[in-house]
Amino acid sequence: MRLVRLERCSSGIKLGKSIYSENGKILLTKGTELTDSFINRLKNLNINTVYIEDTASEGIDIIESIPVELLNEATNVITDGLNTIADINMTKPTVKGMIETEKTVRNFQRIFKDILTILTENPTVLNLLATTKIHESHVYTHSLNVTIYSCQLAIKNGLQTNEIEEIGLGALLHDLGKIFVKPEVLNKPGRLTQEEFEQMKSHSQLGFDILRKVHEVPFVVAHCALQHHERIDGAGYPRGLKENEIHPYAKILSVADVFDAVTSHRVYRPAMLPHQGMELLYSGSGTQFDTDQLKLFKNCIAIYPQGLTVKLNDGRTGIVTKYNFHSVGRPEIRIIRDEEDQEVAPYEIDLSSSGNLTLEIVEADALL
């Protein structure tokens, strides 16, 4: 199985993984032969890449970091939960509303515990590309993805379980305020006007104002919503906090937040691949992001996910087959083209083994 850009797919290609709707229904089952009309439909649904089966990539299995069933359940819990908390707590809370809120927070905690258990019991590097889903509204999926990335980064920080659980709840709720931003502003394809940008920016304060009144939510979790757009250099919002004025949880969230935002499709730009997203984060090292958090985050994610096509500095081309946990930027690769770009009988090399240390990945893409 390998990852390809949809624009390079033609009819007759066999789908390697099922494609899901946002609430978890299968839209196209793995093994389906793509037709021109399927390809067009997927393009219209903003799918950029798909997994396909072909001879060159035979036997390459793509491991999902989180089982799709849990991702689907979590998306549904988040969708209901964010709307419930926003609806109930904007007005004067009633007893019924407080009970509903308490139930929602408990559901969030339960979902997060399931994610935490999976990530602690099966040490992995995260590849959220491994599950292809259609998103109607990006707030819910984004909240889930940020939660998964933050959880992994919090584990890498060596934090205590209760701290990781606070970060998890903070991540699930960090964009609560976006429920109140008008969809035409949230999903505007072009540049935002100053007024629209101010409206967009208000989501962190708005989320905080709601969450600080919910007594099941620790105050530090409300601060995750408030501070996740602050920057190390003080140029962030809403308060322009600097360096150590920013809560450590918010430093973790901001890395996870931007990484997911740039590696996900938005109406105003296509998704970046993980190595491009990582490069972008590094361009903000010490200004937008905490440098230590970036270093840790680099080891949390599959920079070169399985199934990606990579070109080496000696001219050979291969497909990523396996991660090396000790060296995530140097995976195992199945070589399919030689130095002269001629097809060869596939063979595997491990970029992390001592004989291959002069080799570098110079290009990576989702290709056929």
Residues in binding contact with Fe ion, number by CB under 5 A: 1
DSSP string for residues in 130-156: GSEE--SSHHHHHHHHHHHHHHHHHHH
Closest approach of Cβ 208 to Fe ion, in Å? 11
- The Cα 343–Cα 113 span in angstroms is 47
State which of positions 139-168 bind Fe ion (CB under 5 A).
none
Using CB under 5 A as the binding rule, whether residue 260 contacts Fe ion is answered as no
Closest approach of Cβ 146 to Fe ion, in Å? 9
User: Please, which residue, 8 or 201, has the CB nearer to Fe ion?
Assistant: 201
User: Please, which residue, 221 or 364, has the CB nearer to Fe ion?
Assistant: 221
Q: Which stretch binds Fe ion (CB under 5 A): 158-166, 173-181, 266-274, 298-306?
A: 173-181
User: Please, which residue, 175 or 290, has the CB nearer to Fe ion?
Assistant: 175
The answer to whether the CB of 352 falls within 8 A of the CB of 361 is no
Cβ neighbours around 344 below 10 Å, total:
13
Distances (CA, A) of 98 to 91, 92, 211, 368: 12, 10, 12, 53
Question: Which distant-in-sequence residues (6+ apart) come within 8 Å of 23 by Cβ?
Answer: 72, 75, 76, 79
Closest approach of Cβ 139 to Fe ion, in Å? 9
User: Please, which residue, 175 or 260, has the CB nearer to Fe ion?
Assistant: 175
Q: At what angle do helices 68-90 and 95-121 cross, to 10 degrees?
A: 150
123 preceded by a cis bond (ω within 30 of 0): no
User: Please, which residue, 175 or 230, has the CB nearer to Fe ion?
Assistant: 175
User: Please, which residue, 166 or 175, has the CB nearer to Fe ion?
Assistant: 175
DSSP string for residues in 323-336: --TT-TTS-EEEEE
Closest approach of Cβ 256 to Fe ion, in Å? 11
The answer to whether the CB of 336 falls within 8 A of the CB of 342 is no
Q: Which stretch binds Fe ion (CB under 5 A): 21-29, 140-148, 172-180, 312-320?
A: 172-180
Q: Which stretch binds Fe ion (CB under 5 A): 50-58, 170-178, 187-195, 270-278?
A: 170-178
Phi (first) and psi of residue 98, to 5 degrees:
-65, -40
Closest approach of Cβ 14 to Fe ion, in Å? 38
User: Please, which residue, 82 or 312, has the CB nearer to Fe ion?
Assistant: 82
Among 175, 230, 260, 290, which residue interacts with Fe ion (rule: CB under 5 A)?
175
User: Please, which residue, 3 or 256, has the CB nearer to Fe ion?
Assistant: 256
Closest approach of Cβ 204 to Fe ion, in Å? 6
Closest approach of Cβ 212 to Fe ion, in Å? 17
- The Cα 14–Cα 365 span in angstroms is 19
Closest approach of Cβ 203 to Fe ion, in Å? 6
Residue nearest to Fe ion (CB): 175
The answer to whether the CB of 105 falls within 8 A of the CB of 169 is yes
Residue (of 163, 146, 136, 140) closest to 86 by Cα position: 140
Look up tokens 């505007």; give the residue.
Answer: 188
Binding interface with Fe ion (CB under 5 A): 175
